[in-house]
A = this chain, B = another copy of it.
Amino acid sequence: MEFLLIQFGLSIFSYNSETNSYTQQSYNFYVFPRPLNRAAPDCRFMCQASCISFLANQGFDFNKLFKLGIPYLTSDEEEKLSKRVEERQRAREEGLELIPISDEDKPQIEDICSRIDEFIDSEAEELTIDRCNAFIRRLVHQEARMRWPNKIRLESKTEGGGQCLVVQKIGTKEEEKQREVERREKEKSEVQEAVGLSALLRKIADSGKLLVGHNMLLDLCHIVHQFFAPLPESYSEFKALIHCLFPRILDTKVICQSPQFRESVLSSNLNILLETVSKAPFSLPEVNSVENRSYSVSAMKSHEAGYDAYITGLCFISLCKYLGSLQKPEVSTVLTDSSLLNPFLNKLLITRLKDVPYIDLTGKDPNPSRDHVFHITFPKKWRFSDVSQLFNPYGGVSVSWLSDTTAYVGLNRRDQSGSVLKQLSKVGNFKIQKYAEHQASLDTSNQLTHGERKRKLSASEKAPSSKEEPKASSVNIPETSEDDGWEMASGKRRRKRRGPIVTGKALDAERTKNFAENTTWE
């Protein structure tokens, strides 16, 4: 979450029952946390050179991103910003805390004040004081309030790269009141501008409509993190938050990997999937585009978020048509409220977990056998090749490191589990234990969630005594609990409405990083 979501794609499909066709409108938003004014948060974020390079070479327009990218705020950030604006308004009424003027700044302040004195006695309507840094402007504000109360008004302005201060004479009481009203209106609309794309995402969440994505777990994480609230530390709270925000989610990759589809869909790579669902036994739906608001398949704008969202929608409808054709009697049109979709609803794929079909946002996650997984303890100097050689006679392993001296290993050949335990438990400088046994041996204090652990830490100010903490890894599945501790602050209930399908796709640096990691082999 240190990386940024920088493009958000949205494609809206609406079904017309009379013509049995869809209309499609697609949007490609550049998203960037431009601080619109000094009160807005100024975000620091990470980048990875290879991802940036990749995107630039794919035609991603970074100048547009940084100059025109749409900002966003979580609800908490919006509240903070509003409060800060109100504090400023109060400061304008009540005055500022006094800052002593140092000997060094005194000559400049006195020079400015004497120019203001002259200006007040003159016929001039405006006086511009240039080369005025922010601290000097702050001091002049303070002096003006004491020396010429209700006589002049000061405003900061940027001119030719440098900051300057504009001095004007004050009007009648009514004029000043009207001016303050207008200023507050402007400040209010600036807060709305800073909320930016979050307003759209809140609308999408409030609509309760079906949200379709392709391999969307990481996208959802970024969407929630940037537009709604920080991600909870506990896994069950995370699932509850996602479900509360988006009560109807569908990941097309979950459909592709289900038993009914697995044989007809060989690769669920989005572009290949589009090819697959364009040919028999699948067929693409009839989609009418809206002028200037739609992509076409021939555009081939892969990696543009809006285009990816559009393709995802097309694939989804085609998969639905096929699903209907498998029923007896055949169902001619599968819409978003069809019960045929229920088996796929609110399930998300974790790409690297090959034997877990999905995580389930509303129930217990599948709990596949871990009988081929072992916990091992070995000398500190061991590297991947040492571990790997040990298991080569049994068909090899995948390794998930826990520390310098411990790891989980998963056998490639599950039928070798018995021999491994029998023969390797005799090796000298090396200890092996069944996954289930190791899990059971971890005492309760180690099974706390990260969040609970943090709270405990701050209460006792001591680190837990155990050195080894199981890390999230491809063989270490967090346990699902029924604890629904999280609740929406607003407490709104979602209506399940029938209507257009919403497809979201986020383009983020982390995802491209995974791409890069997968291609480090030569």
Contact = CB atoms under 8 A, between A and B. Distances in A.
B44 A518 contact: no
A35 B303 CA distance: 20
A425 to B, nearest CB: 22
Given A52-B66, A138-B522, A412-B102, A42 B302 contact: no
A331 to B, nearest CB: 33
Interface stretch (A55-63, A117-125, A370-378, A487-495): A55-63
A391 to B, nearest CB: 9
Given A42-B516, A521-B135, A47 B50 contact: no
A303 B162 CA distance: 12
A32 interface: yes
A43 B48 contact: yes
A185 interface: no
A83 interface: no
B516 A156 contact: no
A231 B406 CA distance: 34
Contacts of A44: 46-49
Interface in A146-184: 156, 161-163
Contacts of A272: 131
B47 A45 contact: yes
B102 A521 contact: no
Given A134-B518, A412-B100, A45 B46 contact: yes
A392 interface: yes
A33 interface: yes
B45 A392 contact: no
A137 interface: yes
B50 A42 contact: yes
Interface string A480-498: 0000000000000000000
A392 to B, nearest CB: 7
A339 interface: no
A43 B48 CA distance: 6
A229 B104 CA distance: 39
A456 interface: no
Given A34-B49, A61-B63, A102-B412, 18 more contacts: A34-B53, A35-B49, A38-B520, A38-B522, A42-B516, A44-B47, A45-B46, A56-B66, A62-B62, A63-B63, A100-B392, A100-B395, A103-B412, A104-B354, A131-B269, A134-B519, A135-B518, A135-B521
Interface of A: 32-35, 38, 42-50, 52-53, 55-58, 61-63, 65-67, 88, 97, 99-100, 102-104, 131, 133-135, 137-138, 156, 161-163, 267, 269, 271-272, 302-303, 354, 385, 392, 395-396, 412, 516, 518-522
28 contacts: A38-B520, A38-B522, A42-B49, A42-B50, A42-B516, A43-B48, A43-B49, A44-B46, A45-B49, A46-B47, A52-B66, A53-B67, A56-B63, A57-B67, A62-B62, A62-B65, A100-B395, A103-B412, A104-B354, A131-B267, A133-B518, A133-B519, A134-B520, A134-B521, A134-B522, A135-B518, A137-B522, A162-B271
